[in-house]
Amino acid sequence: MARRGGSRRWLDEHFSDPYVKAAQRQGLRSRAVFKLEEIDRRDQLLKPGQCVVDLGAAPGGWSEYAAERVGHRGRVVAMDLLAMPAIAGVDFIQGDFSTDEGLEQLDQRLGGEAVDWVLSDMAPNLSGQKAVDQPRSMLLAELALDFCHQRLKPGGGLLVKVFQGQGFDALLASMRGRFDRVQSRKPDASRGRSREVYLLARGFQA
């Protein structure tokens, strides 16, 4: 009964969420795009002509936004385990970037081009058990950080979703060891009770 009640509360919250309603009105793929938009406007991440990799891209809101920002002179390469309807200006690969095969697919598609930004809004399939979900979420963030090695251009950046809890401080220390500056962002579109935050890292030390 508690689980059904929790699901009901989530549905009520979801469908009354102003960002969900705004995404529906604007024909956007998800409310998550407002998180990236707010961070981008505040911190001036994306610029025309840049090369962006979007990890865990489905349903595609971040990829679509990034493609608009980098324009026809830039490129967006996106990957997800799930299928994703085509987006103009986005080169999508259905695969698992955490595997050697997935990395090889991404590297082939990039063709040796250095990346300006790695974006990751990934989260694991949540079980509701913090002891299980937290390590899974931290692993995804660590894999996104590892992906930057030998792919991100000097001075490039990483924006990654993480959940505060066990492993957070260690990840933050690892990021500070590879980037000149790491900041935490909690956009308005991120639900207040959620433990999610976004770590924004700039100035990659190649």
The CATH number covering residue 153 comes to 3.40.50.150
* pLDDT at residue 29 greater than cutoff 60: no
Is 161 considered catalytic here? Answer: yes
Global confidence as pTM: 0.85
* pLDDT at residue 141 greater than cutoff 70: yes
Number of domains making up the chain: 1
Q: Say which residues have a Cβ less than 8 Å from residue 156's Cβ, sequence separation at least 6.
A: 114, 115, 116, 117, 118, 148, 204
Integer Cα distance of 10 and 91 in angstroms: 33
Are the CB atoms for 83 and 58 separated by under 8 Å? yes
Identify the residue whose tokens are 């990890």. 55
Give 24's Cβ-side CA count (13 Å radius).
8
User: Binding site: residue ranges?
Assistant: 60, 62, 80, 96, 121
Question: Percent of the chain beyond pLDDT 70?
Answer: 79
Mean pLDDT check: name the lowest of 3-17, 35-49, 88-102: 3-17
pLDDT tier for residue 135 given thresholds of 50, 70 and 90: confident
Q: What is the pLDDT of residue 6?
A: 47
Range of the domain at 167: 2-204
Per-residue pLDDT tens over the stretch 162-197: 988 889 999 999 999 999 999 999 998 776 667 889
Query: Which of 130, 153, 161, 186 does the annotation list as catalytic?
Result: 161
Higher pLDDT, 172 or 125: 172
Are the CB atoms for 198 and 184 separated by under 8 Å? yes
Higher pLDDT, 178 or 134: 178
Strand order in the sheet with 90-94: 90-94, 75-80, 51-55, 115-120, 152-163, 196-204, 179-185
User: Binding site for S-adenosyl-L-methionine: residue ranges?
Assistant: 60, 62, 80, 96, 121
pLDDT tier for residue 18 given thresholds of 50, 70 and 90: low
